Amino acid sequence: MTFNLRRAVTADMAEIMRLERAGFAPAIQETEQTFAERLAAAPEGCWVLAGEAGRLYGYLCAEFWPLEPGFNPNRFARDHAAGETHSLDGEEIYISSMVVDPVTRGTGWGRRLFSVALAEMFARHLRLRSAILIVNPEWTAARRIYSAEGFAEIGEIEGYFAAGDGRQLSAIVMRRPQT
Ligand SMILES: CC(C)(COP(=O)(O)OP(=O)(O)OC[C@H]1O[C@@H](n2cnc3c(N)ncnc32)[C@H](O)[C@@H]1OP(=O)(O)O)[C@@H](O)C(=O)NCCC(=O)NCCS
């Protein structure tokens, strides 16, 4: 199957929320309000893999941040309002979330979504020169994609993820300068 990578629109919301629920445990799913804020305040960072008849097979959300040495752990708060953090003048892409539909996983679309959406953002916004993200140490597929795409670990945020079994896991912070 092949999908069309395009910018997300408001009409995609129900499908984005279906993917969100399929992608993450309830304790760490983000709210529809958070996604609506992203679409309104940071539309240039919202991308989807579209199939036929409005069905989506993946989404990726990002914001543009000022590039700073190291990182500020407070910036990565779940469900933060993109309107308060996204800046079109930013030099660094923060990839806030990505999900591929479970029916499509393991066929290369996750890596394609990630690499092409980032390439599109770098090509359209010439001030961008770096990308940053956080990942749960147990999300093997995501970690494979980020390493393969040249991201390196630069630190951790302790206790960021509730594992669902009472454990708290650190978030691994990864960055890739754009060459
Ligand atoms: C992360 C995610 C988007 C990847 O999508 P995908 O379509 O499965 O990714 P790909 O098919 O491109 O596979 C990427 C890599 O992960 C590997 N992989 C895929 N599923 C895997 C699994 N269940 N266990 C281990 N490795 C896996 C693939 O083999 C591939 O590695 P390789 O290139 O070294 O062979 C998808 O798994 C997902 O939506 N997960 C839930 C949400 C999530 O973790 N989001 C990312 C953090 S925000």
Does the beta carbon of 142 lie inside 6 Å of ligand 1? yes
Q: Which helix (H) or strand (E) holds 84?
A: helix 82-85
Domain 4-133 sits in which CATH superfamily?
Gcn5-related N-acetyltransferase (GNAT) (3.40.630.30)
Q: What confidence score (pLDDT) does residue 11 get?
A: 97
pLDDT of residue 172: 98
Domain boundaries, the chain: 4-133
Distance 143 CA to ligand 1 centre (A): 8
pLDDT at 5: 98
Residue closest via CA to ligand 1's atom 31 equals 144
Distance separating alpha carbons of residues 62 and 133, to the nearest angstrom: 9
pLDDT for the residue 92? 98
Low-confidence ranges of the chain (pLDDT < 70): none
